[in-house]
Amino acid sequence: MISTILMGIAAFVSAPAPGPCDLLDRATVVSILGKPVTDVSPSDPVRDEDVGGTVVYCYYRAGEAALIVSQITFASAAAAQKATTKEVVEGRMEDEVTAFKEVSGVGDRAFWASTETGAQFVIVKGANVVGVALGGSLPKPPASYEAALRAAASAAAAKL
């Protein structure tokens, strides 16, 4: 009996933390992209000296469209809060931001941003920051994906 309990505890303790490709199910990604995923590519973890965390990405491609899940891990929740500001989130969008807002009721802090060519929803949860970004050749305007990206980012953050 004790050995069974110890094995269960060992399995729980040694379970690896989910990576960004584990945070969304394929059906969610296909639903957002509107077509079958043709490639899934995780990145290696990299220290982001600009914000002070370790970032890893998962790229989902479907033709000319892409969905990118990012996960930044910080040393503490305070460090994640300090590094994830409006200016940082807005600055990471490559094009001119056309819509931006801080969103309440999701994680410890959350942001929505869109441009003419892409959109992103970012959630701070504890020492982690999860982003779900969409871009490329999209069937609808990027701003119209707010609800879908919010739901996807919320589901991803719930797994951390």
Average pLDDT of the residues of the chain: 87
Q: For the chain, which ranges sit under pLDDT 50?
A: 1, 3-14
Span 5-42, pLDDT tens digits: 434 444 444 455 678 999 999 999 999 999 999 999 99
- CATH number of the domain that residue 146 is part of: 3.40.1000
Residue 93 lies in a domain: yes
Residue 2 lies in a domain: no
Res 155: pLDDT: 94
Residue 55 lies in a domain: yes
Integer angstrom CA distances of residue 32 from 13, 139, 146: 34, 10, 11
Residue 72 lies in a domain: yes
Residue 95 lies in a domain: yes
Res 59: pLDDT: 97
- Report d(CA 58, CA 70) in Å as an integer: 7
Residue 56 lies in a domain: yes
Whether the pTM exceeds 0.75: the reply is: yes
Residue 6 lies in a domain: no
Residue range of the domain that includes 98: 17-158
Res 17: pLDDT: 66
User: How many domains does the chain divide into?
Assistant: 1
Q: How many helices (H) and strands (E) does the chain have?
A: 5, 8
Residue 138 lies in a domain: yes
Res 51: pLDDT: 86
